Amino acid sequence: MTRTNTSDSLWILPADALPAFLSALAENGELWVPVPVGEGARFLPYREGLPIDLTQTPPAHPAKSILFPHSEVLFTYHRGDDGIPALTVPEFDSRFLVAFGVRSCDLHAINALDAIFLKRSVPDTGYQQRRERLRVIGIACLSPAATCFCDRMGGGPFDTTGMDVQIVPFEESYLFRILTEGGNQLLNPYLDYFQAADEGAIRKIAALEEGTSLQTGQPVDFEDLSQAIKTHNDDPYWEDLANACLGCGICTFVCPVCSCFTLVDEGTPRAGRRVRAWDACMFSTFTKEASGHNPRGAEVARVKQRFFHKFYYCIENEEPPGCVGCGRCVAQCPTSIDIREVIRHYQREGT
């Protein structure tokens, strides 16, 4: 965790200057912001006049969709009159991609997504190009939700991992803390919108940071947890969860780390497209094979898979754990299945 200190480059943006700043920023790149849609915020490309919600902690939908969209056209094809098919791959934007108002949990999750999409044998083209363009203006969480537990998973409300700039809302303005050279380059052209932070503001923000604490428990020992889960394959506890689980896709879709997808082809032999869309291991068809056999045919096998993947396979593969403590699945599960409870259930005493 980076503590506020005077050596950081600190700037203050009055709240009423935010739209003008964002509009200016959006002219030079792709900008994603948390937008209220229904009762929950989701990250959408910025456009003039779009309402922005910087209060929902965390936004109901994760920031993973910026790098890994819910659905994405991989290519389109068209067979000309000569019968020869032509593929068209969507053109990528080469400008920077700014994720604005992202919280620590989602950035820890991007770390986990990097392990999946970049660090395995073949990097994922779409993810990679977006990831390389990514600049993050993150936001500190002044009022974590009752379901937040990032403090146990390596993050924290003021954690700056993955941020180029961190904003701290205070009074009628935002403090922008520039953390990296990338952040410096990003904000430099727009400093006209800002005022330099004075000593008073810095003190107030330091007090805010002191006053915001999330203490939901000891940090999780993932080695320990993974061993405990591994050795409880036949635990009746999984049945208890499976007895309630609906097998819907809420938990995986709102999870900032879940990254399973499916590929579908749409169209006719003449023309069409290949689309990649999120899939969910909780769906009964997820592992269904062409023969009709389903290795995870029972609800309990699917429920178990979710937690085995997050807390055992990830650790076994030396990748970051599959949970960052954002608590979205906890808050959204209709049947109150709670990953915190799973962790508690398998955590040995003293950890």
> How much of the chain is helix, strand and coil, in % rounded to 5?
35, 20, 45
Pairing of strands 97-102, 271-278: unpaired
CA 243 to mean position of chain CA atoms? 29
Cβ-count burial 222-242 (b if 16+ within 10 Å, e if not): beebbbbbeebeeeeebeebb
Nearer residue to another protein within complex by CB, 142 or 248:
248
Distance in Å, CB of 88 to another protein, minimum = 17
Phi and psi at 287, nearest 5°, equal -110, 10
Nearer residue to another protein within complex by CB, 182 or 247:
247
Distance in Å, CB of 5 to another protein, minimum = 33
Please classify residue 215 by burial: count the beta carbons closer than 10 Å to its beta carbon, then call 0-12 exposed, 13-18 middle and 19+ buried: exposed
Judge contact between 138 and 184, C-beta under 8 A. no
Distance in Å, CB of 298 to another protein, minimum = 9
Nearer residue to another protein within complex by CB, 17 or 145:
145
Nearer residue to another protein within complex by CB, 118 or 275:
275
| Contact set with another protein (CB under 8 A) | 37-40, 44-45, 60-61, 65, 69-72, 146-147, 240, 243-244, 246-250, 253-254, 262, 264, 266, 275, 277-280, 283, 285, 299, 330-338, 340-341
Distance in Å, CB of 69 to another protein, minimum = 5
Nearer residue to another protein within complex by CB, 202 or 303:
303
Omega prior to 58 cis, within 30 of 0 = yes
Distance in Å, CB of 59 to another protein, minimum = 13
